[in-house]
Every structure is written in structure tokens, then in C-alpha cells.
Amino acid sequence: MAKVNDITFPKTSGKLNKKDDKIYRIRNGKQQSYTASENSVPPSKAQVAHRKLFGKVTAIVNAIEADPKQKAEWDQKRIAYNKNLTAKHDWLTKRYDTVRSFAHFIISSQLEQTLAKKQRKNPIPKALPKGLKLHIKHFADLSTTELYELLKARFAVFYLEQHIAYQDFDDIDYNAVHLALHRKGHVVAYARLFQGNEPGQWIIGRMLTTERNNGYGKYILEQTISEAERQGANAIVLHAQTQVVSFYEQFGFRTLGKVFMEAGIPHIQMIKSLTN
């Protein structure tokens, strides 16, 4: 499969018509819109960033389609890309039938990678800012308020922001270690850690941040790895969304196997060995 970074495209410009009463999002590769009501939950920073990114990509693609020369060039790239795919690739690898779908895929991937690089520059906080506290607790030790706040954070990020419809209450919480970074009781970063089926294997799941670009995600992951070491783990496993693989690679995780769908989003398994 051709790598996204191997394909370059000319700089283009374009304008996207704005509709004040519409909110746009992508689901299963298709644009969807709905009218915002007075009772709608205000969009998060992540949602706003996603909409800006989608608008920028759409503007570039519109400009490409309006220019016959650029459209012909992109059609040649699309055909070459499809030819490079082999039967060995799994079902998730997609062949593109139109210039629009192919250009949207390539450009959005490149812009997301650029955004991810900027976010990775945020350092791990050496000391927590005043007002932040880290709680590391087993399920039985969580207060009702702490449990409510971490579940509220999970709902806000995974359901409201990422539109993932799945069973969050999977009973794993009962046997997990919950790591949460709090400010005045509210969760700003969170992860859960639990034992896997293999001896010495521990799994990280439900990792999130509600305040981005402050290094809190790196901090909570670093603390989760340290906790796994304290629990005697010799390997840590997680399922990473494909767009954040490079984030985990900074901490020594490597990809394992092929991309798969989980909760409607492309994921890949990653593992970090804790043995020399």
C-alpha cells in the first residue's frame, strides 16, 4: 500500500460556503449535517478543530475538482494508488473510485499528521500545575463522586466528541486500576489499566484527555506505564486509533498485526515490552 507521505499534491485554495445553522461531521466516510438546536451541547475544542479541518479539506478538494488539469493529475494518482494495492491487504484497505474520495482521503490524512506533529511537541509536565491531583485507585476504592466524574469524562470524549456508540460499561472497570488527573474534582486526563489473558500482560484502555495541548495525555500515559511496572507487568498492550499511533510510539510502543475496526473507528494493536 502506498504511504500517504509518498504522495504529494499541489497547493490549492478555495472557499467553503458557511451555513450558520448547520453542523457537519463525517461518519462512515460520508458527510452528514444536522441543525443545531437551542438545547444542543456546545461544541468542544476537539469538535471545533475537527470541523475546521473538514472545512479546509473540502475547500481544497472543491478547488481540485473545479480545475480540469488538477483533477486529471489526481485521477492518475488514484489509479496508481489502486494498482499498488494487493489482495494481501485486509478488507479495511480501500480502493477509491472517484477523484473526490481519493483526494479527500490523502489530504485529510496529511493535515491530520501535521496536526499530530504539533501536538507531540507538548512536553510531559515535570511537575503538576497547582490545582491538579493524580488519583490511582482500584474500582472498590473510588468514591461515588470520583466514579461519576470519570464516567462523565468518558461519555463526553468517546460519545459526544467521537460519536462512538458502544457499551462503555463492560464490567472490566471492576477489576481495573483507574488513573485520573483531577482539577477541582473534574477529570482532565484518564486511563484504566487491567490484566490481560496472558501471564504478565496488562492492558491500557479508555485513555482520554478533556484538556488538550497541555501535555496531560503524555503525563497520564507515563503514570499508567509506571503503574503497570509496579503491578509486575512484563508487557503492556493497547488498541490505538490509527491517527494517534505516533503518540504511543514515543513511549516505546510498536504496532502489532493489521488495522481493524473497533466501535466503527480504525484501530491497531500496539505493545510495549517491559523486559530487557
Task: Assign residue 257 the CATH number of its domain.
Answer: 3.40.630.30
pLDDT score for 264: 75
pLDDT score for 249: 87
Question: In this structure, are 169 and 246 located in the same domain?
Answer: yes
* Residue at a domain's end among 68, 97, 120: 120
pLDDT score for 185: 86
CB–CB of 217/187 below 8 Å? no
What percent of the chain has pLDDT above 90? Answer: 30
Structural domain of residue 23, as residue ranges?
4-120
How far is the CA of 70 from the CAs of 63, 89, 103, 108, 192, in angstroms?
9, 29, 11, 17, 47
Please state, in angstroms and rounded to a whole number, the distance separating the CA atoms of residues 127 and 133: 11
3-class DSSP assignment, residue 194: strand
Please state, in angstroms and rounded to a whole number, the distance separating the CA atoms of residues 56 and 63: 11
Number of domains comprising the chain: 2
Do strands 265-273 and 254-262 pair parallel, antiparallel, or not at all (unpaired)? antiparallel
pLDDT score for 111: 75
| Sequence-ordered strand ranges (E) for the chain | 22-27, 30-35, 132-138, 177-183, 186-195, 201-209, 235-241, 254-262, 265-273
Question: In this structure, are 223 and 143 located in the same domain?
Answer: yes
pLDDT score for 16: 40
Question: In this structure, are 142 and 87 located in the same domain?
Answer: no
Question: Which residues of the chain are modeled with pLDDT < 50?
Answer: 1-28, 34, 36-40, 88-92
pLDDT score for 214: 81
Question: In this structure, are 92 and 180 located in the same domain?
Answer: no
At residue 224, what is the residue type? T
Residue 127 belongs to some domain of the structure: no
Residue 126 belongs to some domain of the structure: no
pLDDT score for 125: 59
Asked whether the whole model's pTM tops 0.85, one would answer: no
Q: What does DSSP assign to residue 234?
A: S
* Residue at a domain's end among 55, 89, 120: 120
